[in-house]
């Protein structure tokens, strides 16, 4: 606001809202205006500390805020209006909930006296979002607004992070109150565990150091807990093989020899075989998701399991673990590194060497091989070239499907927060808005979006946002004219009955990009892939849409079919 009111003067709820965000250090809000939030937009208009990014659909706002948070260590913030504004946001909120993204979403609501009246643009936003938020609030009195916002940021960013929604009726934004922002907040019902139990840590270390066939299995909790440095130190000190989940890629450098690739349904042979044969499993910041475990009855049959996680409810939820440690991953790993030298037993190097020989045998299967001499562009080749040409250091977002798996398999992430995808909810359409958020968090970085012709159309309208804010995102559209992952399952499990998986009547993506004011390219020959990516990366200030016409029949390998164990992979 141009004039800062005196401390004791009452200001409107809308102004309080803006002041709270400023106090939280919020720099970017993704949103879309509407009737219920007009007072808030007016207050945003009269200040210049917080940038508001106008998306083209509320789903895009939430995903952009997620991309912003996932690519950085900050909380994402989004603002939508009541009714359809809120319902459009639900997919994004559910996505953030599944992947534990710290997010505060503000929704406008009809005035308090109309709540429950089926008023224009009224929905029970708190009710609709309840199952897919970490917590939500309805603010009924302007005097509670500042404290509620403080609580929202605290809950969203502490413990296991997640989305928090604050529903604000329009009249609350017009009423006045004295602004006071609490410096700290205490909630008697919310005290997330931080430090791990020292006794458990020692017990776990004893088991870890006595392992003959150890395996580290780490996930998104390492990224969210900013623990990749500690994890790297811990893993190198142990000399054990490590695998990452889809959400955990970049938590440990992919180019390191100890990294055996991603695990799970489309993980590497060596990672899944290593898991299956392991005698000690060290699970860190993971939740034993069904895409990782395969058939739970056959999961890690020989392993004693140590599980480190900030969320007690993740412990023994799907798989019974032997030594749980509840707390933040980072300080626990630091303590383990410190304690390790004081332990009486150390890993037996001969046994470990034998285990590594076995793993190298599995690795030698080269499970990610594909036909490199194909006259048709192979999607894997595009991702590999992208990795080469960006030095493995780009921010890469993806949508959901085959291209997502190829991006995860073939772009070796050496750093955390570089890989931004929808793992839990598997939301098609996230790729472009994720990239927008990442580009706002890192204005000078190379941000790329690996997508497919089906996914990209689910939030294609955001190309307009990208033009308005000059976001030089590089989109790699792996266009196989199919819902590739659906087609693959239909080929494998439905005798090739391709029900509704063919993408007919596709737009001309080059013209589409151009009509949005961007650069479009169509690439049809394998020999042109490298040149096109180079050219696109050289266009530093333009969004480039690269439409790669790829092999329609390519499948994602290896694969654990549903119901199978980790040692029952289909290889190419």
Whether the Cβ atoms of residue 488 and residue 514 lie closer than 8 Å to each other: no
Beta carbon nearer to another protein, 35 or 192:
192
Instruction: State the residue for tokens 């033009």.
Output: 467
Is residue 247 annotated as a catalytic residue, yes or no?
Answer: no
Cα separation, 306 vs 311, in Å, equals: 14
DSSP one-letter code for 196 = P
Q: Which of 22, 47, 121, 461 is catalytic?
A: 121
Helix (H) or strand (E) holding 136, with range, is strand 135-138
Q: Which of 485, 521, 546, 569 is catalytic?
A: 485
Q: Which residues make up the interface to another protein (CB under 8 A)? A: 126-127, 130-131, 134-135, 138, 155, 187-190, 311-313, 315-317, 320
Cα separation, 220 vs 102, in Å, equals: 13
Closest distance between another protein and the C-beta of residue 84, in Å?
22
Closest distance between another protein and the C-beta of residue 114, in Å?
17
Beta carbon nearer to another protein, 159 or 484:
159
Beta carbon nearer to another protein, 30 or 154:
154
Whether the Cβ atoms of residue 529 and residue 540 lie closer than 8 Å to each other: no
DSSP string, 293-344: HSSGGGSSTT-EEEEEES-GGGTTSSS--SEEEES-HHHHHHHHHHHHTT-S
Structure tokens at 239: 């000399």
Structure tokens at 425: 């909810």
Is residue 485 annotated as a catalytic residue, yes or no?
Answer: yes
Is residue 385 annotated as a catalytic residue, yes or no?
Answer: no
What is each CA distance from 370 to 32, 156, 250, 266, 556, in whole angstroms? 44, 42, 23, 14, 10
Closest distance between another protein and the C-beta of residue 369, in Å?
41
Q: Which of 15, 24, 58, 270 is catalytic?
A: 58
Closest distance between another protein and the C-beta of residue 115, in Å?
11
Structure tokens at 213: 């066939």
Structure tokens at 157: 């960013």
Beta carbon nearer to another protein, 123 or 441:
123
DSSP string, 394-447: SEEEE-SSHHHHHHHHHS---STT-EE---SS--TT-HHHHHHHHHHHSTTS-E
Contacts (Cβ under 8 Å, ≥6 apart) of 230: 329, 330, 333, 334, 337
Beta carbon nearer to another protein, 144 or 530:
144
Contacts (Cβ under 8 Å, ≥6 apart) of 145: 13, 16, 17, 20, 139, 168, 172, 177
What is each CA distance from 171 to 34, 37, 120, 321, in whole angstroms? 14, 10, 15, 51
Q: Collapsing DSSP states into helix, strand and coil, what is residue 546?
A: strand
Instruction: State the residue for tokens 């979006």.
Output: 449
Closest distance between another protein and the C-beta of residue 312, in Å?
5
DSSP string, 233-295: HHHHHHT--EEE-GGGTTSS-TTSTTEEEE-STTS-HHHHHHHHH-SEEEEES----HHHHSS
Beta carbon nearer to another protein, 126 or 178:
126
Is residue 170 annotated as a catalytic residue, yes or no?
Answer: yes
Closest distance between another protein and the C-beta of residue 190, in Å?
5
CA angle 410/414/420 to nearest 5° reads 70
Is residue 229 annotated as a catalytic residue, yes or no?
Answer: no
Closest distance between another protein and the C-beta of residue 245, in Å?
21
Closest distance between another protein and the C-beta of residue 538, in Å?
49
Beta carbon nearer to another protein, 125 or 258:
125
Closest distance between another protein and the C-beta of residue 146, in Å?
18
Beta carbon nearer to another protein, 74 or 317:
317
Beta carbon nearer to another protein, 129 or 455:
129
Give the residue numbers marked as catalytic: 58, 120-121, 170, 485
């Amino acid at each position: 606001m141009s004039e800062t009111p005196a401390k004791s003067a009452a200001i409107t709820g809308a102004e309080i809202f803006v002041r709270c965000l400023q106090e939280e250090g919020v720099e970017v809000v993704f949103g879309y205006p509407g009737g219920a939030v007009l007072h808030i937009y007016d207050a945003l208009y009269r200040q210049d500390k917080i940038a508001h990014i106008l998306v083209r659909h509320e789903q895009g706002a939430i995903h952009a805020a997620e991309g912003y948070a996932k690519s950085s260590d900050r909380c994402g913030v989004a603002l939508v209006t009541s009714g359809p504004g809120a319902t459009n946001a639900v997919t994004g909120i559910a996505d953030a909930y599944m992947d534990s993204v710290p997010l505060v979403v503000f929704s406008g609501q009809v005035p308090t006296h109309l709540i429950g009246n089926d008023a224009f643009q009224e929905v029970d936003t708190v009710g609709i979002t309840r199952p897919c938020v970490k917590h939500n609030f309805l603010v009924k009195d302007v005097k509670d607004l500042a404290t509620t916002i403080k609580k929202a940021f605290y809950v969203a960013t502490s413990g296991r992070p997640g989305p928090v929604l604050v529903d604000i009726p329009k009249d609350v934004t017009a009423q006045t109150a004295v602004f006071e922002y609490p410096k700290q907040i205490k909630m008697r019902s919310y005290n997330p565990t931080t430090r791990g139990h020292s006794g458990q840590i020692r017990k776990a270390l004893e088991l870890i150091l006595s392992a003959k066939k150890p395996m580290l299995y780490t996930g998104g909790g390492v990224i969210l807990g900013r623990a990749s440095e500690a994890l790297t130190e811990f893993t190198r000190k142990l000399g054990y093989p490590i695998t990452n989940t889809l959400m955990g890629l970049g938590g440990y450098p992919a180019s390191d020899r100890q990294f055996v690739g991603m695990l799970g349904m489309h993980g590497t042979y060596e990672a899944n075989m290593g898991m299956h044969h392991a005698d000690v499993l060290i699970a860190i910041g993971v939740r034993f998701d069904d895409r990782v475990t395969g058939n739970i009855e056959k999961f890690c049959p020989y392993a004693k399991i140590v599980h480190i996680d900030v969320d007690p409810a993740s412990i023994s939820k799907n798989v019974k673990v032997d030594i749980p440690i509840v707390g933040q991953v980072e300080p626990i790993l630091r303590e383990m590194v410190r304690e390790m030298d004081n332990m009486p037993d150390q890993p037996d190097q001969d046994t470990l060497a034998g285990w590594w020989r076995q793993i190298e045998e599995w690795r030698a299967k080269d499970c990610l091989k594909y036909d490199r001499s194909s006259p048709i562009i192979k999607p894997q080749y595009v991702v590999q070239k992208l990795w080469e040409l960006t030095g493995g250091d780009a921010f890469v977002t993806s949508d959901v499907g085959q291209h997502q798996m190829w991006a995860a398999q073939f772009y070796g992430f050496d750093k955390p927060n570089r890989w931004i995808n929808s793992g839990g909810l598997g939301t098609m359409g996230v790729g472009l808005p994720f990239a927008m958020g990442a580009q706002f968090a890192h204005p000078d970085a190379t941000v790329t979006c690996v997508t497919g012709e089906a996914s990209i159309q689910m939030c294609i309208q955001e190309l307009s946002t990208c033009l308005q804010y000059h976001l030089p995102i590089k989109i790699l559209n792996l266009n196989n004219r199919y819902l590739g992952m659906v087609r693959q399952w239909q080929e494998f499990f439905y005798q090739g009955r391709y029900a509704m998986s063919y993408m007919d009547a596709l737009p001309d993506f080059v013209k589409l990009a151009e009509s949005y004011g961007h650069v479009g390219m169509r690439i049809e020959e394998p020999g042109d892939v490298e040149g096109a990516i180079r050219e696109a990366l050289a266009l530093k200030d333009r969004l480039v849409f690269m439409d790669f016409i790829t092999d329609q029949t390519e499948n994602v390998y290896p694969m654990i079919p549903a119901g199978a164990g980790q040692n029952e992979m289909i290889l190419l």
